[in-house]
Structure 1
Amino acid sequence: MKEQLVNSYDNSILYTDYFLANTIKKLDELDAVSYLFYISDHGENLYDDENDYVLHAYDHPSKIEVHIPMFVWISDKYRDTYPVKHNAIVQNVNKKLSADVVFYSLLDMADIVIPDDNCQKSIANPALESDSIRFILTKKEIVALE
């Protein structure tokens, strides 16, 4: 059972990688001001620790569930058009963040301004601060992660 789950998960990651690589290739061929922003919604447990958790949505989630991948690909023209945003993204790469940054980052990176914009939550903003505490909602409660 474990081997089948791990193989299934690995295949899903391989397909995601294939899809993202092809999408980036097509964006790159456009030679336009463009970017790709990717974030996973959650991680998956595959019997990775002493709890023998599998999949996700436990009352006390593991680090594997809540530490999720996010990356940004930026075209050369985007980098040339928005050097401050590009430099901020590079500067912010190792900060602890939550999914709260997604909305503001997408707007900011697209150069879209809205009323009461909180662009300080954008990864493209040099003033972005790491989240000191992040919260997740389980089936039963809100859990604070430090």
Structure 2
Amino acid sequence: MINGHLSLFKQAFEEVLHEIGFADLTYKAAPEMNPPSEAVATIGITGDIQGFLLLRSDTKSLVAFISKVLANMGMEESEESFGNFQREAFGEILNQLSGRSVMLLADHGFECDITPPTLLIGANISYDIRALDDFLNQDISGGFGKINIFVGIKKAKEWSKKS
């Protein structure tokens, strides 16, 4: 069971992904804390909750995911590989996920903001996730493959005082 702050992040992810056309996704706790990734998008969280969100994937799954997003919007893809458009779309999807998370947190009395997204592309990218107070590590699977969403909270005002 995911409690407190983290349940709002999970709710935000499910809402946004459903809105962009992904109704049949599987959400599972990820077996690895730091899975090898070829693409990582990250956004920082500031304010009452401090931490970060990571969206991690292999490029094959990510290209298939973005192709599905475009198809759901009635658009055709112009690139078949992981090019500039896919990179921008990857960052924008994380922007939407984090923006919805901050909105849900605000509904519960938490004042937070997000930083601009940062994209990392390469082989076997890893991320230092030590010294966290709490985290959510979920694999999201569908016809496109698998994407990992990680929320790391370094500092947060108490949930019980805000809910």
TM-score range, shorter chain: under 0.3
| Larger relative helix fraction | 1
| Larger relative strand fraction | 2
Q: Which has the larger radius of gyration?
A: 1
TM-score scaled by structure 1?
0.27
TM-score scaled by structure 2?
0.25
